[in-house]
Amino acid sequence: MRFLLALPFLVCCASSAPADRVTTFDSVRDRLASEPTRLLAEAAGSTGTLTASRYGMDGWQPGTAAFSIANGDLVATADAAGQLGLIELGATVDPIEIPQDVFGKPARLQDLRVRLASQATAMTTWTDADDATATALIDVDVSWSIALGDTVLPLATQHLQDLPAEVSITGGGDHVDATLSLHASGELWSWAGLVKLTDLQLTLATATVD
């Protein structure tokens, strides 16, 4: 009998239990200030270039190779003043075919990954609560290998410091889009004074997956 009397009370409590709450945000700035926000790279708009050069009778002969992004992500926040914080940044690049005249044989860069080496704060300008542009100097690590014919040679990880990066952010509280562009000028790798890789440019178009 006591069990039967208690049953309506248990049913009442179960029916009044709160449902899972869905967090909503008023704007992009509100969302970034409330929690670290992860954005995933999109194929459209995520691209880059790298210059490969070979030293010959007429000096350095450069060739520019374009590449696409296999995957990547960006984690960002905003502080109380609205300054953008870059917490994580990563990109995996599809194999890059190097112009054949650089090595005199088919060659490609592969296993190329770019990672943010340390967190950075960007100088940020908000035109409204959903739109901002930011600039920062960031440090990244670049790991890769090079394939010459059937031979694959791992290359030393490059630690690149103070690279100029630009970020544009737009969207709303329920969806955020961000594009990050960076440029590593100068020499990234060289071999025997005959071959060098320079001028890495990377654009990463990202968006939240909601």
The residue ranges of DSSP E strands in 149-174, in sequence order, are 151-172
Q: What is the mean pLDDT of residues 12-32?
A: 72
What is the chain's length? Answer: 210
Using 50, 70 and 90 to split pLDDT, how confident is the model at 10? very low
| Structural domain includes residue 193 | yes
**Tokens describing residue 75:** 């984690």
80 phi/psi in degrees, rounded to 5:
-60, -30
| Structural domain includes residue 9 | no
**Could you tell me the sign of the dihedral formed by the alpha carbons of 28, 31, 35, 39, in that order?**
negative
| Structural domain includes residue 75 | yes
| Structural domain includes residue 34 | yes
Confidence (pLDDT) at 64: 86
Burial class (CB in 10 A: 0-12, 13-18, 19+), 33: middle
Rounded percentage of the chain residues whose pLDDT exceeds 90: 59
Q: CATH code at 174?
A: 2.40.160
For the cut 70, the answer to whether the pLDDT of residue 20 exceeds it is: no
**Tokens describing residue 47:** 């691209």
Number of domains in the chain: 1
| Structural domain includes residue 20 | no
Q: What is the mean pLDDT of residues 54-74?
A: 88
Greater pLDDT, 38 or 185: 38
Q: 16 and 10 in contact (C-beta within 8 Å)?
A: no
Q: How many CB atoms lie within 10 A of CB 44?
A: 6
What domain range is 120 assigned to?
28-207
Confidence (pLDDT) at 1: 45
pLDDT tens by residue, 92-101: 999 988 877 7
For the cut 90, the answer to whether the pLDDT of residue 124 exceeds it is: yes
Rounded percentage of the chain residues whose pLDDT exceeds 70: 89
Using 50, 70 and 90 to split pLDDT, how confident is the model at 183? very high
**Tokens describing residue 103:** 């090595």
pTM listed for this prediction: 0.83
List beta partners, residue 40: 73, 207
